[in-house]
Structure 1
Amino acid sequence: MSANANLYAAIETSARRAAHTVAFSQPDGSTLDYAELLALVGRYADALTQHGVGRGDRVTVQVEKSLGNVALYLATLKVGAVYQPLNTAYTAAELDYFLGDAEPVLLVADPRRADTLRPIAAARGVRHVETLDAEGKGSLADLAADLPGETPTAVCAPDDLAALLYTSGTTGRSKGAMITHRNLASNAEALREIWAFQPGDVMLHALPIFHVHGLFVALNTALLNGSPTIWLPKFDADAVIAQLPAATVMMGVPTFYTRLLAHPGFTRQLCAGMRLFIAGSAPLLAETHRRFEAATGHAILERYGMTECGMITSNPYDGERLPGSVGYALPDVSVRVVGEDGAELPRGEVGMLATNGPNRFLGYWRMPEKTAAEIRPDGFFITGDLASMAPDGRVTIVGRGKDLIISGGLNIYPKEIEMEIDQFPGVAESAVIGVPHADFGEAVVAVVVPRPDAALDEAALGAWLGGRLARFKLPKHIATVEELPRNTMGKVQKAALRERYGTLFPAG
């Protein structure tokens, strides 16, 4: 890497080498080559500069997936600012918290929501609210179209912030993980190496880009490799099947693979030109792994990561890809399994997985106590996931010490949902759990105790939650019980609830 640690400087170098190679193609036949991408990013960087966005400033983005969104992400890196992507499903009430915590200079919003969000942003001191590429004048795209693209690439140090990604906290309050240029660059370079990216590889991209998987793992790796990317607005099995013959690499959440297996048009012949299928963001059922290999001849490569560290481990490209295992630590990444005292456990024992390396985030935004609690003095981050390690270093995740639910590749923290449910009239208390689901990996289930004098309307509760929480957080099942199981200390035994409701949904 050059003296400039800005990730965009490395992408810029790669893009110049691949100048006349297609960077992105879309199902409508439109394409954007790498030279055109560089010019577009330059114009967006000019637009950011005109809005007063500079080094270290946060840019909060909640827009639908588009190539304009990619250009905005790269332009934010280019000017040395901090990119903060948000799930498009978040409600205005949820967005209010993120704006108050991150204090961005600029909010880029969906044009359908911009007017609703302007007063919220103003109350939080956000100086500018813009749309990205709405029709008509006034969007960032319109502004960028008339600019020369002359903003220089900012010179950044390795530990300068590149992104601020919010993840769930133990109290239900989201934490902003501070992601540096070193974190992003080291991860993308390692993945390009261990997954054997090569000239001629074509990435099929159907993931969202408000998330580590789609934005950093897939996009950064493809851009650093100078690869063409087939750009789909979302996962649609028909669209993926139509584009697969032109691709060599696909990254997806387990839901993608279960839906492809269920599609009559998904055949072994269709996958003949594919080099690699990669799965992550949620546990891949061993049964899905076996069925996919039987149907296509390809063993899905499962890897493991998290918001705070990007990718941590991966099954080997050359070597056995064991169903249920997440493989070995990435180059320059260290992992160990520790007990409650923080001491490393013997191989084969189950404990908490801890990790350190150039991919490990700096800490939590404006939460020094939380940072100190989760990053040990020796630099190892406690992931919150329970794991075992084989004698050769292969890691298997066996559960989560935290109650985090991962559904469809998205992180959901039960406490946030419980806090909303407990405000509903007639509810005494609640417990939210994740249970196995063949399509989503895990499904959200709410177990609710009504007040003794109240009759709980489960449908009304579900509808009420729909106006307060993003859709992906909504329970797929609400169960009513007289009391929650507790241990002698009074703590709700969620393991008992998961056992009780674990077969609600078909396993496959």
Structure 2
Amino acid sequence: MSSNRNLFAILARNFPKDPGAPLLETANGAVRSYHEMLELSARIGRTLLAASAKPGERLMVQVEKTPEAIALYLAALRIGAIYLPLNTGYRRDEVEYFLTDAAPKVVVVTPGSPLADESLIKDHGARMLTLDAEGRGSLIDAAQRQPAEIEDFECDDATIAAILYTSGTTGKPKGAMLSHGNLSSNAAALHEIWRFEPRDRLLHALPIFHTHGLFVALNTTLLNGTSMVFLKHFDAAEVIRLLPRVTVMMGVPTFYTRLLASPEFGRDCCRDMRLFISGSAPLTVETFNAFKERTGHTILERYGMTEANMITSNPYQRDRVAGSVGFPLPGVSLRIADDQGKPLKQGEVGGIEVKGPNIFQGYWRNPEKTKSEFRADGFFITGDVGRIDERGYVHIVGRSKDLIISGGFNVYPKEVESVIDTLPGVAESAVIGVPHADFGEGVVAVVVGKPGAQLAEKQIAEATRDHLAAYKAPKAVFLVEQLPRNAMGKVEKAKLRETYKATFAAPRR
């Protein structure tokens, strides 16, 4: 067996013997085989190499979800480039920062996106290629002129495969460096504990710029050598139509609440399903119970983060406990610790710290931050707060970094506050997350105006959308005379969350 630890090489060892076997099928019934995707990824890989995306160089990607985008990801792995996907909702201010920080050699963009500015990209020393929402563009045009074979880049487990940016509560987004070993070990662990079978077929309705859709869903499917139904985005009616044709679905809690909201959703469309998996945000006990009652299936909830991929999962065969994220994955160590990293007793609440082959290699060009996030014994400080019950199940009870998870996407208050605080007439702001029936948490901004300023809630919300992705913009804005503070002058966000907790509650009848 080859000693190559390249993630693609590891996945490819499990591809079906029949090269014509389907890899993905789109909503309109178009099928792409493993052979077709292998050839396209080789052509794209050669195109990227010709454009200077050499091994170790960053390949920045902000494109829509298409089969060609999957081939682009595979191509990056095959040539040893570092794949750097960006949320398609990022605005101009955000992408300019990423360009400066990551210094990519090649940028692949959807025409019309904030990043699709050739002069901007050239000014940062990169070359631009395009890939539109239909899978066409200069990238594919150039790829069609290339040979359909390529020699896969050889590397070890520590070689960086991807950089995913994750925002911080006190500063700019940080690039989490994930190695080929991080990704392959996590895929293998998930494939094992979720009992993937030769008959499995995945329903893929997640975005592919995020760990969940790109690494968890795609890598496990490829490692299993099976196929997926590939949707551009989640649509409840379309998912209900397609569920009888698949066996596994991965989603964020919002997917499941929207399915439950449809009277067409029930046991009949789930008759051939083997597994429903939820992650990226907390699944409420109410949704957990309602889903089980409606379908007869118990959702399997897991826990992960950008820097660690997947960390824990509820068991496949044993009890899947509502409100719990289960047990650490094989090879992963998890402890609950105090502020100094001292392990706490079972049942005590403290910081969640983890260690294992899934943990990232550090933050891009930020060794100081990397050092501060690890204990001396190698445990990574997640910033989440939790406990382990008497049966060994892990429970997340809070987030020490004030992270908001809205619709499965991370929103860091400091980033939103930084935009609001620059608006004319704003003295200061505090951004919090409060319960939202559809998104899990809704972003709320509490704003203090300068003396005499004429502020309007609607205008503040709209102004943030000019600078930030729409999911980060406040869904509600409140104007107040002052923010609550403790004796040290720190804003008491717990009080704000209590004050505004019913903002998105359904009105009583």
What is the TM-score when the length of structure 1 is the normalising length?
A: 0.97
Say yes or no: does 1:264 pair with 2:260: no
Q: Quote the residue 2:496 is aligned against.
A: 497
CA distance in 1, matches of 2:212, 2:115: 30
Q: Summarize deviations over 1:187-231 as a string: whole Å, max 9, x none.
A: 001000000001010000000000000000000000110111000
Q: Quote the residue 1:194 is aligned against.
A: 193
Aligned residues: 507
Q: Quote the residue 2:387 is aligned against.
A: 388
What is the CA distance between 1:170 and its match in structure 2?
2.9
Aligned to 1:208, the other structure's residue is in SS state: coil
CA distance in 1, matches of 2:383, 2:85: 23
Deviation larger for 445-454 or 356-365: 445-454
CA distance in 1, matches of 2:416, 2:7: 36
CA distance in 2, matches of 1:473, 1:28: 32
CA distance in 2, matches of 1:231, 1:136: 14
CA distance in 1, matches of 2:276, 2:51: 41
* Cα distance, 1:457–1:134 mapped onto 2, change above 3 Å: closer
Say yes or no: does 1:351 pair with 2:333: no
Q: CA RMSD in A?
A: 1.5
CA distance in 1, matches of 2:134, 2:324: 47
What is the CA distance between 1:49 and its match in structure 2?
1.4
Q: Quote the residue 2:406 is aligned against.
A: 407
Asked if 2 retains the 8 angstrom alpha-carbon contact of 1:166 and 1:176, the reply is: yes
Deviation larger for 176-185 or 459-468: 459-468
Asked if 1 retains the 8 angstrom alpha-carbon contact of 2:109 and 2:116, the reply is: no
Q: Quote the residue 1:283 is aligned against.
A: 282
Q: Quote the residue 2:31 is aligned against.
A: 31
CA distance in 1, matches of 2:506, 2:372: 37
What is the CA distance between 1:117 and its match in structure 2?
2.0
Asked if 2 retains the 8 angstrom alpha-carbon contact of 1:12 and 1:38, the reply is: no
Give matches, 1:122-161, under 5 Å. Answer: 122-126=122-126, 128-133=127-132, 139-161=138-160
Say yes or no: does 1:87 pair with 2:87: yes
What is the CA distance between 1:148 and its match in structure 2?
1.1
Q: Quote the residue 1:431 is aligned against.
A: 430
Q: Summarize deviations over 1:62-101 as a string: whole Å, max 9, x none.
A: 0000001000000000001100000000011110000111
Q: Quote the residue 2:57 is aligned against.
A: 57
* Cα distance, 1:135–1:444 mapped onto 2, change above 3 Å: closer
Say yes or no: does 1:207 pair with 2:206: yes
What is the CA distance between 1:15 and its match in structure 2?
2.1
Aligned to 1:69, the other structure's residue is in SS state: helix
Q: Quote the residue 1:216 is aligned against.
A: 215
Asked if 1 retains the 8 angstrom alpha-carbon contact of 2:446 and 2:480, the reply is: yes
What is the CA distance between 1:4 and its match in structure 2?
0.6
Asked if 1 retains the 8 angstrom alpha-carbon contact of 2:302 and 2:314, the reply is: yes
CA distance in 1, matches of 2:435, 2:19: 46
Q: Quote the residue 2:22 is aligned against.
A: 22
Asked if 2 retains the 8 angstrom alpha-carbon contact of 1:179 and 1:308, the reply is: yes
What is the CA distance between 1:391 and its match in structure 2?
3.2
Q: Quote the residue 1:98 is aligned against.
A: 98
Aligned to 1:43, the other structure's residue is in SS state: helix
CA distance in 2, matches of 1:223, 1:259: 28
Q: Quote the residue 1:342 is aligned against.
A: 341
Q: Quote the residue 2:486 is aligned against.
A: 487
Give matches, 1:290-309, under 5 Å. Answer: 290-309=289-308
Q: Quote the residue 1:48 is aligned against.
A: 48
Q: Quote the residue 2:72 is aligned against.
A: 72
* Cα distance, 1:263–1:416 mapped onto 2, change above 3 Å: same
Q: Quote the residue 2:250 is aligned against.
A: 251
Give matches, 1:169-180, under 5 Å. Answer: 169-180=168-179
Asked if 1 retains the 8 angstrom alpha-carbon contact of 2:416 and 2:431, the reply is: yes
Aligned to 2:154, the other structure's residue is in SS state: coil
What is the CA distance between 1:393 and its match in structure 2?
2.3
Aligned to 1:15, the other structure's residue is in SS state: coil
- The one-letter code of the counterpart of 1:51 is A
What is the CA distance between 1:419 and its match in structure 2?
0.9
Asked if 2 retains the 8 angstrom alpha-carbon contact of 1:5 and 1:156, the reply is: yes
Q: Summarize deviations over 1:258-315 as a string: whole Å, max 9, x none.
A: 0000012111111010000000000001100000000000010000000001000000
Asked if 2 retains the 8 angstrom alpha-carbon contact of 1:16 and 1:35, the reply is: no
* Cα distance, 1:56–1:301 mapped onto 2, change above 3 Å: same
What is the CA distance between 1:134 and its match in structure 2?
7.2
Say yes or no: does 1:231 pair with 2:230: yes
What is the CA distance between 1:150 and its match in structure 2?
2.5
CA distance in 2, matches of 1:192, 1:506: 38
Asked if 2 retains the 8 angstrom alpha-carbon contact of 1:436 and 1:507, the reply is: no
Q: Quote the residue 1:442 is aligned against.
A: 441
* Cα distance, 1:115–1:5 mapped onto 2, change above 3 Å: closer
CA distance in 1, matches of 2:135, 2:248: 37
What is the CA distance between 1:137 and its match in structure 2?
8.4
Asked if 1 retains the 8 angstrom alpha-carbon contact of 2:434 and 2:443, the reply is: yes
* Cα distance, 1:204–1:479 mapped onto 2, change above 3 Å: same
Aligned to 1:130, the other structure's residue is in SS state: strand
What is the CA distance between 1:115 and its match in structure 2?
8.1
What is the CA distance between 1:507 and its match in structure 2?
7.1
Aligned to 2:14, the other structure's residue is in SS state: helix
Aligned to 1:17, the other structure's residue is in SS state: coil
Asked if 1 retains the 8 angstrom alpha-carbon contact of 2:4 and 2:154, the reply is: yes
What is the CA distance between 1:11 and its match in structure 2?
1.8
* Cα distance, 1:18–1:98 mapped onto 2, change above 3 Å: farther
Give the 4+ runs in structure 1 shifted more than 6 A: 134-137
CA distance in 2, matches of 1:391, 1:136: 51
